[in-house]
């Protein structure tokens, strides 16, 4: 029996639910597979036939224009048939259970579900259900679940770092902001550790740090200026206001003063440091426009690379 439920009997990716527990070889394999797909974007005809005849269902129980759009573009560039379902406005709002929805869509000859859900563990539940009902040939990709994980965002961030910095084993990387509510941060930290980054720093106010964060193998800083000294990569996080219960921050202005990335604070990092952000950005709260649009920013290339990485993941799953 597989130790990791994401792998099939041959040790190949069957689902992508989380980066936790995946080997360095698998992560590097995904990044390597994404390389030629990044070149497809430069062609006049941006399609390859790898998923021709396959049906990919985007099941978004939670809104996300950017993630849904990049998954849709990725699937279409692989020549798949793509069906977008905004479940908030359909069956779930009529009282149908998550697994009833999955059963009905599986009956429509689905080959892959791309799932975004507000509840942690929902994509794993779907994958378990498909296996229990003899439909393990349907692949599940987690497009973000609750506070748990956002594996393709973590992978596209790793692809971006590798593109600009080449060697993970020489880097100091800072993850800055709302770590408490961020599924992206968890995926980033797991991937950075697995790929051999020697120093990962987490910079956040105490109220936005999860308990036990130091157990994840990171150095914790509450002083942003101290935490940014000499870093190679600055990974900013979005303030997840919609997930915050109670007053975790005095005010957006106060947050920007201490934890917003400004040109002055960025000067403490290495001169060739890159700045990343998963988007959407809250300018003037998490990041100054001069930084977001400046020469250190690789925020727009991240989006472009995201399509190639999602193509890589879907093509590998379909081939397993």
Longest dimension (CA), the chain: 57
Per the annotation, does 28 bind a ligand? no
Per the annotation, does 238 bind a ligand? yes
Per the annotation, does 150 bind a ligand? yes
Per the annotation, does 94 bind a ligand? yes
CA distances, 290 to each of 56, 199, 214, 257, 261 (Å)? 39, 27, 32, 15, 10
| Helix H or strand E encompassing 200 | strand 199-203
- Cβ proximity of 156 and 28 under 8 Å: no
Ranges of H-type helices in the chain: 24-40, 65-77, 98-106, 122-132, 151-165, 183-194, 224-228, 252-259, 263-266, 289-292, 299-318
Say how far apart CA 199 and CA 172 lie, in whole Å: 5
- Cβ proximity of 69 and 85 under 8 Å: no
Per the annotation, does 66 bind a ligand? yes
Per the annotation, does 279 bind a ligand? yes
Binding residues: 66-67, 94, 116, 150, 153, 183, 238, 279-280
Binding residues for L-aspartate: 94, 183, 238
Binding residues for carbamoyl phosphate: 66-67, 116, 150, 153, 279-280
């Amino acid at each position: 029996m597989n130790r990791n439920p994401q792998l099939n009997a041959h040790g190949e990716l069957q689902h992508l639910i989380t980066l936790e527990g995946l080997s360095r070889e698998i992560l590097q394999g995904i990044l390597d597979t994404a390389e030629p797909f990044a070149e497809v974007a430069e062609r006049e005809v941006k399609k390859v036939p790898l998923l021709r005849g396959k049906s990919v269902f985007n099941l978004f129980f939670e809104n996300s224009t950017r993630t849904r759009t990049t998954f849709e573009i990725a699937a279409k560039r692989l020549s798949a048939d793509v069906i977008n379902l905004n479940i908030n406005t359909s069956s779930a709002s009529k009282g149908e259970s998550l697994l009833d929805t999955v059963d009905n869509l599986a009956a429509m000859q689905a080959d892959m579900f791309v799932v975004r859900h507000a509840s942690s563990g929902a994509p794993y539940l779907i994958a378990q259900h498909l296996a229990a009902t003899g439909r393990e040939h349907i692949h599940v990709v987690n497009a973000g679940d609750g506070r748990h994980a956002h594996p393709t965002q973590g992978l596209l961030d790793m692809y971006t770092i590798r593109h600009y910095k080449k060697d993970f084993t020489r880097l100091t990387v800072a993850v800055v902001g709302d770590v408490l509510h961020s599924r992206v941060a968890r995926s980033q930290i797991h991937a950075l550790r697995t790929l051999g980054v020697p120093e990962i720093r987490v910079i956040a106010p105490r109220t936005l740090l999860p308990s036990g964060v130091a157990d994840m193998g990171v150095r914790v800083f509450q002083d942003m200026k101290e935490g940014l000294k000499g870093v190679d990569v600055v990974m900013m996080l979005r303030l997840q206001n919609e997930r915050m219960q109670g007053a975790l921050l005095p005010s957006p202005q106060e947050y920007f003063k201490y934890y917003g990335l400004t040109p002055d604070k960025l000067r403490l990092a290495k001169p060739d440091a890159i700045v990343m952000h998963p988007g959407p950005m809250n300018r003037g709260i998490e990041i100054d426009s001069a930084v977001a649009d400046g020469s250190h920013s690789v925020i727009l290339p991240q989006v472009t690379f995201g399509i190639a990485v999602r193509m890589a993941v879907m093509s590998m799953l379909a081939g397993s």
